[in-house]
Structure 1
Amino acid sequence: MSFGVLDGDGQVAQIEGHPFGQISFTGQRHAAADVRLLSPILPSKVVCVGKNYADHVAEMKTGDAPSEPLLFLKPSTSVIGPGDAIRIPPGSTNVHHEAELAVVIGARGARHVTEEQALASVFGYTIGNDVTERDMQRSDNQWTRAKGFDSFCPIGPWIETDLAGIGKDPADLQVTCTVDGELRQDGRTSSLLFGIPTLISYISQVMTLLPGDVVLTGTPAGVGPLTIGGSVTCAIEGLGELTNTVTGADTVSTAR
């Protein structure tokens, strides 16, 4: 398992160590088709933002839009990569997809940064799927269980570190989600109630964002159920597609 840089020719140039700081190449190159992409990062934490699109607030029917960012966490054990299976918990029939722009924090981290300083803390951008057990979310009055199951945070397929270089602006990207060929979500990050600099600054006043941490910025309207045997594809322009299958849960115990 190693990090690499994907170039425009479909080749992955392997690097030594992690991608933060000065990159050193090993000299090994692989065709992208010959490698298995894992989650491009395993963060110490995934900081998520709820109710950050007005149309999603309206469809959820759980009150008005928040006056400040609504934060919650997903554990690192929920993170999976492209092609991995989202595992539905036993007895659950209401697990939803939530396509989101994911912001990856860079080498300097972020602690008590201003909105003007916030983007200097960003390493790059990728796609996230904030998978949620909706019945548990409604019954628990807090969201840890509903959003924290193993496999409930697909991230990938790669981290784009230079969106401007490909003519894209993270403040105005199309975000879509397709389930079994049906388009469910179609929004733009220009509709975020709280933009990326605001989110990073706000979170950094509460907790230190470490290198590799991920901020999920919220989901547009159109969330809906996933079913065992299906597949879900989240796509963001400039960032590719993140596709995962949906299976039943693995209930193998660690106990001996």
Structure 2
Amino acid sequence: MATNLVRFEKQGKPWWGVASEGWITPLSDDYLTTAALIERGEADWRQARGRTPSVGIEDVEILSPITTPCRIYCQGANYRQHMIESGMNPDAKLFNMFFTKSDASIGSARVAVARPPHVKLLDYEVELALVFRRPICSAVTVTPDMLADYVFAVTIANDLSARDIQLPQTQFFKGKSYRGFCPIGPWLTVLDREEFAKIDDLELQLSVNGTVRQHDNTSALVFKPAETISELSTFANIAPGDVLLTGTPSGCALRVPPPPLRRVMQLLPERRFWKLFLKSQGRRPNYLKPGDRINARIWSRDGALDLGEQITEIVG
């Protein structure tokens, strides 16, 4: 049975606990980092599952279940329809598109996110996030039945992106790393080994002000977690508590111009090209504005897994 581990603040101090049906059972010991919880907290949280909950989840401040410092690895354009929407052929893709976000972007699933004053094209990207269990310091070949050896938990992430920085400046790292641009949680869902197969059949949904913008199933991932971790391990070191964002479904605010228009625009000088592109994007109403409320959820269709819900308000 999956276990939801939540990090929360009580009496000015961070705690870990097991979340269930609106309540929290605090763990007995202190774990200053996510890595510490992973490495020595299993007996504690397994015992906590058998105790009576004592803390109302609405009575405490929910913190990010990912502590810093850590590394955030990301996959770009990894859902079939999102690739098609972005002008790519999913059947012709041979390798992952990897990038990173600064860990300064990590935030709670229950706090407001400030849109920087100079950012006008703020986009949303709901993603399934994998939290690593063990160090990886050399190339490994991971198969689906080995995922439990490398992945500690799954959770929800929102890869907020300043498109007017990311694209004209060719700055994925900068455009996606402003403080608060990676809400994570509300909790870590720790799967039993036999539940890992459900990762390939999870529903993702993101709505803005009550209107659904993104909805897909992880069965549509082009590169699945096992092969992605294998590829990532060929060039990156990984530590317990590091995170992999596995890609976002179609439905983002960003729209790539159709191929005929792109070909014409690419003949223009670079400054003129980006001026026209940003002007066209600025006319789209889906980019986030102060006052917008984002709800993001991930769950299994059979009801066995519920990764909770993120509730994020945009301010600024």
Residue 101 in 1 paired to residue 128 in 2? yes
Shift of 1:38: 0.7
Take 2:173 and 2:195, find their aligned partners in 1: how far apart are those partners? 37
Find the partner of 2:113 among 78, 83, 86. Answer: 86
Look up the equivalent residue of 1:234 and give its one-letter code.
A
* Unaligned 5+ runs, structure 2: 1-13, 254-286, 300-305
Find the partner of 1:136 among 165, 188, 191. Answer: 165
Take 1:199 and 1:158, find their aligned partners in 2: how far apart are those partners? 23
**CA, structure 1 residues 206+15, in 2 after alignment: closer, same or farther (shift >3 Å)?**
farther
Check whether the contact 1:175–1:187 (CA below 8 A) recurs between aligned residues: yes
Residue 12 in 1 paired to residue 25 in 2? yes
Find the partner of 1:153 among 182, 187, 198. Answer: 182
Shift of 1:143: 0.7
**CA, structure 1 residues 163+186, in 2 after alignment: closer, same or farther (shift >3 Å)?**
farther
The farther-off stretch of 218-227 and 83-92 is: 83-92
1:236 paired residue number: 298
Find the partner of 2:210 among 156, 170, 181. Answer: 181
Shift of 1:183: 0.3
Runs of 4+ in 1 over 3 A off after TM superposition: 24-29, 63-66, 163-168
Take 1:156 and 1:15, find their aligned partners in 2: how far apart are those partners? 22
The farther-off stretch of 39-48 and 22-31 is: 22-31
Report the identity percentage.
Answer: 31
SS in 1 for 2:39: coil
The farther-off stretch of 16-25 and 209-218 is: 16-25
1:49 paired residue number: 75
Check whether the contact 1:12–1:31 (CA below 8 A) recurs between aligned residues: no
Check whether the contact 2:154–2:189 (CA below 8 A) recurs between aligned residues: yes
Shift of 1:64: 4.1
Residue 196 in 1 paired to residue 225 in 2? yes
Take 2:197 and 2:187, find their aligned partners in 1: how far apart are those partners? 16
Cα deviation 1:189-216 (Å, max 9, x = unaligned): 1100000111112112211111101100
2:149 paired residue number: 120
Superposed, which structure 2 residues align to 1:17-96 within 5 Å? 17=31, 18-23=36-41, 24=44, 29-43=54-68, 44-61=70-87, 63-65=88-90, 66-96=93-123
Shift of 1:8: 5.0
Check whether the contact 2:17–2:24 (CA below 8 A) recurs between aligned residues: no
**CA, structure 1 residues 165+232, in 2 after alignment: closer, same or farther (shift >3 Å)?**
farther
Greater gyration radius: 2
Check whether the contact 2:123–2:288 (CA below 8 A) recurs between aligned residues: yes
Look up the equivalent residue of 2:288 and give its one-letter code.
L
Cα deviation 1:23-59 (Å, max 9, x = unaligned): 2379994222222111111251110000101211222
Check whether the contact 1:74–1:147 (CA below 8 A) recurs between aligned residues: yes
Check whether the contact 2:110–2:186 (CA below 8 A) recurs between aligned residues: no
The farther-off stretch of 47-56 and 13-22 is: 13-22
Take 1:104 and 1:150, find their aligned partners in 2: how far apart are those partners? 20
* Unaligned 5+ runs, structure 1: 249-256
Take 2:182 and 2:194, find their aligned partners in 1: how far apart are those partners? 28
TM-score by length of 2: 0.72
SS in 1 for 2:312: strand
Check whether the contact 1:96–1:131 (CA below 8 A) recurs between aligned residues: yes
Find the partner of 2:250 among 217, 221, 237. Answer: 221
Q: Which has the higher helix share?
A: 2
SS in 1 for 2:186: strand
SS in 1 for 2:62: coil
1:206 paired residue number: 235
1:252 paired residue number: none
Shift of 1:14: 2.6
Residue 247 in 1 paired to residue 273 in 2? no
Take 1:8 and 1:232, find their aligned partners in 2: how far apart are those partners? 22
SS in 2 for 1:223: coil
SS in 1 for 2:153: strand
